Structure 1
Amino acid sequence: MRASSSFALLLALPLALAAQGRPGARPAAAGPNTTQADSGGGALPNSALSAFRFRAIGPATYSGRIGDIAVAPDKKTWYVGVASGGVWKTENAGTTWAPIFDSQQDVYSVGTVVLDPKDPNTVWVGTGENNAQRSVSYGNGIYKSEDGGRTWRNMGLKESEHIGRIAFDPRDSKVMYVAAQGPLFSEGGERGLYKTTDGGETWTNILKGTRWAGVNDVLVDPNNPDILLASTWQRHRHFFGYLAGGPESGLHRSTDGGKTWKQVSGVPNGEGRIGLARSPSHPHVVYAIAEAGGQRGGTFRSDDGGASWRRQGSYATIGLYYQEIFVDPVNPDRVYSMDVRTQVSNDAGRTFSALGEDGKHVDNHALWADPDDPEHLLIGSDGGLYESFDGGRTYKFFANLPLAQFYKIDISREAPFYLVCGGTQDNYSFCGPTRTNNDNGIRNSDWFVTNGGDGFQSRVDPADPNTIYAESQNGGLTRFDRRTGEGVNIVPQPAPGEPASRFNWDSPLIISPHNRTRLYFGSQRLWRSNDRGDSWTAISPDLTRNLSRPELKMQGRVWSVDAVSRNTSTAFYGNLSAVDESPRVEGLIYAGTDDGLIQVTEDGGANWRRIDRLPGVPDTSYIADIVASAHDANTVYASVINYQRGDFKPYVLRSTDRGRTWTSIAGNLPARGSVHVIAEDPKMKGLLFAGTEFGLFVSIDDGARWQAMRGGMPPISIRDIAIHPEMDDLVVATFGRGIFVLDDYSALRALTPELLRAEAALLPSRAAHLFMQDSPLGGNGVSFQGASHYFANNPPVGAAITYHLRSQYRSARQQREQREQGLNRSGADVPFPGREALKAEQEEEAPSVEVEITDASGAVVSRFDGTNTAGTNRVVWNLRWPGVNPVGAQQQGGFGGGGGGGGGGGAAGGANGPRGGNGPFVVPGTYRVQLFKRVAGQRTAITQPSTFEVKLLPNAPVTVADRERALQYQRRAQELQRVVLGTNAVMAEVSTRLDALQQAVERITKPTTLDADVRAAIARLRGIREQLSGDNTPGRYSEPVAQSLLGRMNRAASFGETLGVPTQTQQQQLEIVAREFPAIKQALDAFFANDLARLEREAEAQGAPWTPGRRM
């Protein structure tokens, strides 16, 4: 940045600009000093999307489901495998965390994490959650890192989908066993117990699974590693049902390293899931917890390494979500079982009792006990990670893991500060800000709960953000009043004699776009309320196929109602799963069902038209989302998921005749990754977003072509999308990584082929809001809360300037190096460029892009460097005039400085202060931005100017007139401060020159009085300086110091904390400085011209060594 630049924020940020027309640009051919932007292969070049960056906003208030925990021998390095959020690592026992698995695309679900027992830097991850709950996702095999998680390799078993456990041979950690459960939703895949003897390079299935059964767990005997125990598990889940066991489940033992196997008696074979655990202190003691029908399940123990078993008691859990046990590292009779509430047995599994959950979330899945202190526990639950140092009596919660599993969200309509509200898996429904007006970011304490249970769809009254509708599982609908904290149950009730309501686990709820007090809510019927849920009317018959769930086939046949855990934790079947009303036509409503129907009414529910076939979509597939177009009354979009049949294809369709006919628009979406949600841009027809199992995609041509829009988001399931109509923000709900916000994506609307061909183009800028950030914690970021304090970043305050460069501007050296790379690749000679060319390269100024801001009168307000990258770029202007601090000088004070007292003149308000050493804020109004390039020393305009607005907040405590008056004063104060600070810097420079001169004259050997003259000059300068800076002698003795002129100047210019008008005191201080400073300036000028010049001439004449500032 050059000296003329203001101190502006230059940040790579989420792309954000409102559509205000497409500004003109001067097209030009790419010159030799440019590098062309890539053309990509889709509707837009990849570089056109490069500046669209998502901002993670958490929260970490309730975290999310932890699937596994691995602790290194140093006990401060931990790894947690997240059921739907990758792998996280801490190297300081949980003070800070980092996601280390995000580089692996198309996988985010983790079942197990283990460390190589001989090398804790070698980490193994089995992907695919190892439970069978309704919300699990699938994986793509086993991964290995040899550098503590920095890099990863997929080591195979990609068709396993769910890994149960990984175990090592203690003699050689290259010998490993992997329990592959296999697909949950379909038959086949890689199932069984896989063994490697070469560290995962090759695998052998040594205990083969069947069509529906895989291996759930495996243990290796440390005393004789050829003895193995493995449990097989037959299970199957579908939207309509769940089967937890079958004849192929059981416990197996091998004594020859897996060459041969024998089914073990004494435990219930042919039933459900069996979890295994071995006592670390007594390896011959092994426990099994078995799920079975009737009273056949329970807890079992072996005292001979698994050869024989006895039933200890009837306690067991449900295998779809728990069924994991752990043995105390010291006491072989103390056993922990993961359950809704962690259970513990102190009598070898005969009886169990709750460990204690005070202050802790329930639904537990993973446990680690310190081998040196068994009272020290780590427990992973649906609510995140907890630590106990007293055996579970009290817990510490790690509120810095943002792993919330959101199902659905909605947003309020205020601007620029608005709420996002949503429901999460087992962690309530709650709301929080998408940004705050403070520099401590978005904190966990900013979020508030609106409903309990598993949270699902929330809706915010578009005219009253204090009224929030929040839903829990199976239709538990509440109207929440934020003002009072009251929640009113408003679930519609069937009339006497009517069938019971079948609500979806995630029941659809909308507010009519035509009447904000009208709600639509779906069970198997569609309900309407015209009074915010106080009363309801069913406006449809049963809109589903109403199939008989007990008669539906699983694993190819109909099973007994007494089959193991039949349909446990499975939603009611035959209900509405998606509803939308046309924004253009009142009463045009679309309803989708979980059994594959779309129903349409064009008269508010009086008549319904059934659509039971969608082209290319398997019958009875789940209708995940329906979106009635805001642009065309006849157009509607639908996304359909069928993954619970093992069909992971994307199904996205469009109808242009109100659902009578449909066309697939899945196009080039990845073949593996269901589409959960569709969103339509409300301002540009054909601009669509698709939330898939592994990320977000965008189309600018109505679904003909799609492009991944990662923007810094990890691979994660996108479950819902909300668009703010004024801010043009894209708010995304993920299932495992919380909420992400793309601040103002509207520049997408302007990225036309014509614009991309221009040398440079400014994209439209939305209005910037001018406000002063608060500091509720007393400092920015974590303030003094410690590194474990979680917060999410706000977007920076300022005007986002977004532009597209067809090419990067390159220096002569960069051009030469590029040419030489091509020659080297072809094996050709690389010519010597010549010494003059090399010299010119060394002297050439690096090419740059400059951003210039002017006000309505055309006066330049700010200039600063932008980014010089081919593609879309973004910088942020901080809405300030340039600062006046001396450049290249150590200088106290500055615009916005604290003022301070006494002779010191106050603390610096420059770049070291919390507000930055910038100039005053601008006045709200219209501004223009223009881009320039500086290449080979020449500055040239590359775009025409584009306008944008700067606004105050709607509730701002100041007016535009206040700001105009304040700026008039501040500009006057700033100009005087520029001279005062410059004069102070000159005094410091002259003092340095005199000190050097004093040392130099001491080396003159001939008689001279120059030494005395220099000392006298130093004293005179000190006197002048004290007139400006004051005498700080009393301060050295802890006495008050008289206010200095420099201190008065800084007080007069201390506007870093307010946008308002100056105080009377400030104005008085400015008048004092204006009156008294000229005499000081005159005295310094005289000293500089006379005393200093004379002394330096005499020093040169008498042969003194050179000193700074003196000509020879």
Structure 2
Amino acid sequence: MSKKAAIATIALFIFGIVSFISVVDNADRVLVRSSLRLSDLPDGVEKMASKISENFERPMSERKKRLKGLGKLDRPDLFAQYHHDIRTRHGEAAPSYSYNYKVEELLKAKSVTSTKALRKLGSTNQLDWIERGPGNVSGRTRGLIVDPDDPDYDTWYAGSVGGGVWKTEDAGQSWIELTAELPNLATSSLAMAASNHDVIYAGTGEGFGNVDQIQGNGIWKSIDRGATWDQLASTTNLEFQNVTRIIVDPADENTLLVSTAVGFNGAPNTSGIQRSIDGGASWTKVYDSGGRFVQQIIANPEDFKIQYAAVNAVGVMKSTDAGLTWSPSLNLGGIFDFDFPSGRFELAVAPSDTARIFAALDEDTGTTSILYISQDAGATWMKGSDATGVNWLAEQGWYDNTIAVHPFNENVVFVGGVNLWRIDLGTGIDTTDFQVTGIDLENTSSFLAFVNFGGALQGGGIDFGGASEGDYTSIEIRFGPGKSQKAHRFLIPEGETSGVPDANYTYQDYVDVPFELWDSDNDVQLMVSFRDQTRNGVWELAELDTETTREYVFLSAEPYDPNNPHPLIARNGGHTHRRLYFIWPVLVEGGIFDPDNLPEATLRINWERLITQSVTTTNVTDAYDEFGGSAKQVHPDHHNIVIIPINEASNSFRLLNANDGGVSFSDDAGATFTQPLNGYNTTQFYGVDKKNGANEFIGGMQDNNTWRSPAGEDASASSQWTFQFGGDGFETIWHYTEPNKLIGSIPNNLIFRSLDGGASWFSALNGLDDVGTGAPFLTKLAKSKQDPDLVFAVGESGVWRTDYFASSWTLTQMPAGWTPDINSLNASQVKISLVNPQIVWAGQNMIEDSPLYMSSDGGLSFAETAVFPDVPLGRISGLETHPAEDSTAFALFSFANAPKILRTNDLGQTWEDISGFGTGTTSTNGFPDVAVHSLLVLPYDTDIIWAGTGIGIFESMDGGATWADANSGFPATLVYEMVIVNDQVVVAT
């Protein structure tokens, strides 16, 4: 019987897709009593759980705003880490997928050669997929542009990080997905050509986090206002791994510049600015950032020749020739001890005065938000000073940081971090004492690095030397052809390394060094000293070795004499005389030190007075009731502010905002907002279940809480789901025989249950000790239709079991090999056999000292299973079982060039690779080389297997012998979970 006939005759499947996010504030008033025992929780969890209990005692309309954050239980950095780890094979430092791999694998699976051809393909095995919503919950959005040809300003294009490019023509009341046939595009930036509004460019990839959560696929271009898209072939390489921003010459649709953040997942860091004059067919790199991520580029709205770029942990670069050359404008590199991902700048130019520039900075520790202001197009900068000291980026400016200037008033800016704020410039201007205001490193990246010894500057590699304040000026160390001077050489007692007292430095002689030291304020050359650690008579750079590479450099305020050493320096301990700075330099890893052929390069330490300007910061949206304001129905975590001027005479404008819940807008300068949530279905599900006998669903969503479809209604794409509780939503369970019972979860095994169909929720941690740091970030639960009260969770102590639907938990002790580290713990999985609840699987890895575990007594005890012998693997990305054979299970993996699906038919005694990779790097049976998260064996014909991958569903019709794209009308999106309930396959994307 053919597949179509089977479906038509047996009517086994009605296929439901789940996706989306949002904030609604009209839910019923519900009071909940908590059974949470705070005294039983580990340190750090008690306070968090207390917040949960406190908020569960509030009316739903109030608690949603607060509970949704739970002190930032939404952790985008940990999601990034999880996806990084499950793609990193045991023994490797990072994922080894090639750039653009998802697009290439999809093209290969579809047997086409271009992305444009994907739109023309039909579905040969079209199934009746029904989208079940939620229609009122949207996902993280970074890219946002407005169609200037719409006189009502209601036509917008939104770039979803998890769902491609979308369009609305009615201010968000309805949305159209423009890239459904393409792989899941992590769209971070959009730009429309002002000279031809049919031309739109979309940049992909997130270059903001500490691990690349969703890697990009270069730049995509539409020449028909977004109706079709084609990937620019010139950007299918690592130089365009993450395109953070795009600007287009308003006079020429073919001239564009992009900023890039490159170097994630082990790739070389070649971040910078790329320029094209032929519509993206070819590119010229016009700025190399020296290993720093360039996270934004903007242009003066009145003069495209003037451009600014934000360089992480460095500052602001400026170009006055349309991006051909760049020079520092605001340089803070070396002042703050930036630890990536902190140190992100966001920039804005005032439309009413284009000489007014603003830079919003996430300061190094994350505890301070800083606004820098320039009134002269970046020639000089002032630092905003607010007496309240409010941290408006809220320690998360590396992730959500955006700024825009009032269209008619250059003294007002709107900024966004976790919340939205308004900053008004005051009239008070003051100056600080002289201080180091920046360190410039020009062209030094090929040979010069620094060792962090705890110094105050340059990431700990430079420290003040103790000279009097009057000795300090701006100084430069200049390298290059013809540049050298004499320096005082010192030795320390032979064999000593660190902690040598100054008095034990013995002066030796006056020798040449391959650089010059200058007081750049007064054009005076200065004296230098160095420590000759290798005792070879010369100063040299070598790669870091703490025993031999201590060729310290000491900079003095004494004027240079090429013929004579200074008498107060040329003596034992004399290296401290009028010492300005102490530097520990080393050779960059993989570099070559040739003192006779160093490039033209400069290390500059700027010594200036810092000007401050008074500012007043006012809260606009208050997502977690921290500042006495209101959320105004706007989701927290803001990534883009677009301001549309409407009428200068009435001072009216529209403020558009892209956030983690989609798009919001205000037509009254932020007094009120609308966050339309109708069909912008872009949220990412991490858990889903269906009510037995009804088309009702419950799901947990990344950074978007746990939601339930309306009771008593057949869920559809536009269904307005009901908020259940806040935080990153994970696994959910709908009791199979008692539909009033539900379970939901948020990070680190914080589990809740409802006994009244979701009207109220109780904490469900009684007896569960692995909560917080002892639990996986992605809470994992296992359920059984045959024994629906039986539920399992996992933690560092072992497998947790409840026979009472989470009313209480008991620990099953695991064999000695169960000792997961934190990253492996986050990959934990647990699964009950679909056909026999006595068979339970659990684990994190498949390696010799950390295998998978199997129980044949309902989870009361576990035993180790065998390890796949042919190739080394590592962390699993999923566990699945068989609907008819209790001895059969599947272990899923997401590593590049390695097996993706292992099957056992004998309870784990042996495993076979059914994805065709074996010991090779390419599948021999049609399976794509992409991540795998889920799998289903179809019960009406167990030869049919579906695999949920990063590019959609792949299908085997012969028990795993061969694979092909299912070609069923399902989009090429990540499929995180697939479950069968009644006659439906429910897919979470």
Q: TM-score range by the shorter chain?
A: 0.5 to 0.7
- The alignment status of 1:120 with 2:385, answered yes or no, reads no
Do the aligned partners of residues 434 and 41 (structure 1) sit closer, same or farther apart at CA in structure 2, a change above 3 Å counting? farther
Do the aligned partners of residues 427 and 218 (structure 1) sit closer, same or farther apart at CA in structure 2, a change above 3 Å counting? same
Q: Does structure 2 retain, via aligned residues, the 8 Å contact 1:412–1:465?
A: no
Q: Report deviation, 1:606.
A: 5.3
Q: Which residue is equivalent to 2:830?
A: 579
- Structure 1 or 2: more helix by fraction: 1
Q: Which residue is equivalent to 1:299?
A: 371
**Equivalent of 1:479 in 753, 765, 786:** 753
Q: Which residue is equivalent to 1:732?
A: 987
Matches of residues 681-1080 of structure 1 in structure 2 within 5 Å? 681-724=938-981, 726-727=982-983, 729-734=984-989
Aligned Cα root-mean-square deviation (Å) = 3.5
Q: Does structure 2 retain, via aligned residues, the 8 Å contact 1:522–1:575?
A: no
Structure 2: runs of 5 or more not aligned? 13-108, 113-120, 427-613, 622-630, 917-924
Q: Report deviation, 1:110.
A: 0.6
Q: Report deviation, 1:254.
A: 3.6
| 2:271 alignment partner AA | R
**Equivalent of 2:908 in 648, 659, 669:** 659
Give the Cα separation in 1 of the matches to 2:901 and 2:229. 33
Q: Report deviation, 1:462.
A: 0.9
**Equivalent of 1:327 in 402, 405, 408:** 405
Do the aligned partners of residues 144 and 543 (structure 1) sit closer, same or farther apart at CA in structure 2, a change above 3 Å counting? farther
Do the aligned partners of residues 14 and 144 (structure 1) sit closer, same or farther apart at CA in structure 2, a change above 3 Å counting? farther
Q: Which residue is equivalent to 1:675?
A: 932
- The alignment status of 1:537 with 2:810, answered yes or no, reads yes
Q: Report deviation, 1:657.
A: 2.9
| 2:137 alignment partner AA | Y
Q: Report deviation, 1:90.
A: 2.4
Give the Cα separation in 1 of the matches to 2:771 and 2:11. 54
Structure index of larger Rg: 1
Q: Does structure 2 retain, via aligned residues, the 8 Å contact 1:50–1:711?
A: yes
Do the aligned partners of residues 274 and 701 (structure 1) sit closer, same or farther apart at CA in structure 2, a change above 3 Å counting? same
Q: Does structure 2 retain, via aligned residues, the 8 Å contact 1:288–1:301?
A: yes
Q: Which residue is equivalent to 2:695?
A: 418
- The alignment status of 1:350 with 2:615, answered yes or no, reads yes
Q: Report deviation, 1:669.
A: 5.2
Q: Report deviation, 1:675.
A: 0.9
Q: Report deviation, 1:442.
A: 6.3
Q: Does structure 1 retain, via aligned residues, the 8 Å contact 2:799–2:813?
A: yes
**Equivalent of 1:397 in 675, 682, 692:** 675
Give the Cα separation in 2 of the matches to 1:15 and 1:367. 51
- The alignment status of 1:59 with 2:59, answered yes or no, reads no
- The alignment status of 1:219 with 2:474, answered yes or no, reads no
| 2:664 alignment partner AA | Y
What secondary structure, in the 3-state scheme, does the structure 1 residue paired with 2:748 have? helix
Do the aligned partners of residues 382 and 223 (structure 1) sit closer, same or farther apart at CA in structure 2, a change above 3 Å counting? closer
| 2:855 alignment partner AA | T
Q: Which residue is equivalent to 2:853?
A: 599
Q: Does structure 1 retain, via aligned residues, the 8 Å contact 2:185–2:204?
A: yes
Do the aligned partners of residues 528 and 343 (structure 1) sit closer, same or farther apart at CA in structure 2, a change above 3 Å counting? same
What secondary structure, in the 3-state scheme, does the structure 2 residue paired with 1:17 have? helix
| 1:503 alignment partner AA | A
Deviations 1:591-613 (A, max 9, x none): 13279742333344555444695
Do the aligned partners of residues 650 and 404 (structure 1) sit closer, same or farther apart at CA in structure 2, a change above 3 Å counting? farther
Do the aligned partners of residues 650 and 696 (structure 1) sit closer, same or farther apart at CA in structure 2, a change above 3 Å counting? farther
Give the Cα separation in 2 of the matches to 1:657 and 1:52. 34
Give the Cα separation in 1 of the matches to 2:935 and 2:289. 38
Q: Report deviation, 1:129.
A: 3.7
Deviations 1:211-245 (A, max 9, x none): x6432111234555444322334xxxxxxxxxxx7
Q: Does structure 2 retain, via aligned residues, the 8 Å contact 1:109–1:128?
A: yes
What secondary structure, in the 3-state scheme, does the structure 1 residue paired with 2:976 have? strand
Give the Cα separation in 1 of the matches to 2:226 and 2:251. 24
Q: Does structure 1 retain, via aligned residues, the 8 Å contact 2:305–2:322?
A: yes
Do the aligned partners of residues 252 and 413 (structure 1) sit closer, same or farther apart at CA in structure 2, a change above 3 Å counting? closer
Deviations 1:34-89 (A, max 9, x none): xxxxx9999xxx99942324222222122222222101223232111111111111
**Equivalent of 2:8 in 9, 17, 21:** 17
Q: Report deviation, 1:628.
A: 2.3
Do the aligned partners of residues 158 and 66 (structure 1) sit closer, same or farther apart at CA in structure 2, a change above 3 Å counting? same
**Equivalent of 2:732 in 433, 453, 458:** 458
Q: Which has the bigger relative contact order, CA under 8 A and spacing at least 6? A: 2
Q: Does structure 2 retain, via aligned residues, the 8 Å contact 1:545–1:574?
A: no
Give the Cα separation in 2 of the matches to 1:543 and 1:250. 51
Give the Cα separation in 1 of the matches to 2:936 and 2:860. 28
Deviations 1:953-1005 (A, max 9, x none): xxxxxxxxxxxxxxxxxxxxxxxxxxxxxxxxxxxxxxxxxxxxxxxxxxxxx
Q: Report deviation, 1:585.
A: 4.4
Give the Cα separation in 1 of the matches to 2:816 and 2:357. 52
Give the Cα separation in 1 of the matches to 2:771 and 2:655. 49
Q: Which residue is equivalent to 2:236?
A: 158
Q: Report deviation, 1:193.
A: 1.0
What secondary structure, in the 3-state scheme, does the structure 2 residue paired with 1:164 have? strand
Q: Which residue is equivalent to 1:182?
A: 262
Q: Which moved more, 1:692-701 or 1:392-401?
A: 392-401
Q: Which residue is equivalent to 2:454?
A: none
Q: Which moved more, 1:574-583 or 1:68-77?
A: 574-583
Do the aligned partners of residues 50 and 158 (structure 1) sit closer, same or farther apart at CA in structure 2, a change above 3 Å counting? same
**Equivalent of 2:880 in 627, 642, 645:** 627
TM-score (norm 2): 0.61
Give the Cα separation in 2 of the matches to 1:435 and 1:489. 25
Give the Cα separation in 1 of the matches to 2:422 and 2:845. 40
Q: Does structure 2 retain, via aligned residues, the 8 Å contact 1:15–1:51?
A: no
- The alignment status of 1:267 with 2:541, answered yes or no, reads no
Q: Does structure 1 retain, via aligned residues, the 8 Å contact 2:690–2:986?
A: no
Q: Which residue is equivalent to 1:638?
A: 891
Do the aligned partners of residues 375 and 256 (structure 1) sit closer, same or farther apart at CA in structure 2, a change above 3 Å counting? closer
Do the aligned partners of residues 586 and 168 (structure 1) sit closer, same or farther apart at CA in structure 2, a change above 3 Å counting? closer
| 1:179 alignment partner AA | S
Do the aligned partners of residues 76 and 47 (structure 1) sit closer, same or farther apart at CA in structure 2, a change above 3 Å counting? closer
Q: Which residue is equivalent to 2:19?
A: none
| 1:713 alignment partner AA | F
Q: Report deviation, 1:143.
A: 1.3
| 1:17 alignment partner AA | A
Q: Report deviation, 1:407.
A: 2.7
Structure 1: runs of 5 or more not aligned? 1-12, 22-38, 234-244, 550-571, 735-1112
Q: Does structure 2 retain, via aligned residues, the 8 Å contact 1:268–1:296?
A: no
Do the aligned partners of residues 466 and 620 (structure 1) sit closer, same or farther apart at CA in structure 2, a change above 3 Å counting? same
Give the Cα separation in 1 of the matches to 2:969 and 2:900. 25
What secondary structure, in the 3-state scheme, does the structure 1 residue paired with 2:245 have? strand
Q: Does structure 2 retain, via aligned residues, the 8 Å contact 1:279–1:329?
A: yes
Do the aligned partners of residues 630 and 222 (structure 1) sit closer, same or farther apart at CA in structure 2, a change above 3 Å counting? closer
Q: Report deviation, 1:372.
A: 2.2
- The alignment status of 1:141 with 2:218, answered yes or no, reads yes
Give the Cα separation in 1 of the matches to 2:756 and 2:5. 30
- The alignment status of 1:337 with 2:415, answered yes or no, reads yes
TM-score (norm 1): 0.54
Do the aligned partners of residues 594 and 661 (structure 1) sit closer, same or farther apart at CA in structure 2, a change above 3 Å counting? closer
| 1:448 alignment partner AA | T
Give the Cα separation in 1 of the matches to 2:897 and 2:310. 28
What secondary structure, in the 3-state scheme, does the structure 1 residue paired with 2:293 have? strand
Q: Does structure 1 retain, via aligned residues, the 8 Å contact 2:418–2:638?
A: yes
Q: Which residue is equivalent to 2:383?
A: 311
Q: Does structure 2 retain, via aligned residues, the 8 Å contact 1:435–1:442?
A: no
**Equivalent of 1:379 in 635, 657, 679:** 657
What secondary structure, in the 3-state scheme, does the structure 2 residue paired with 1:346 have? strand
Give the Cα separation in 2 of the matches to 1:669 and 1:424. 31
Q: Does structure 1 retain, via aligned residues, the 8 Å contact 2:935–2:947?
A: yes
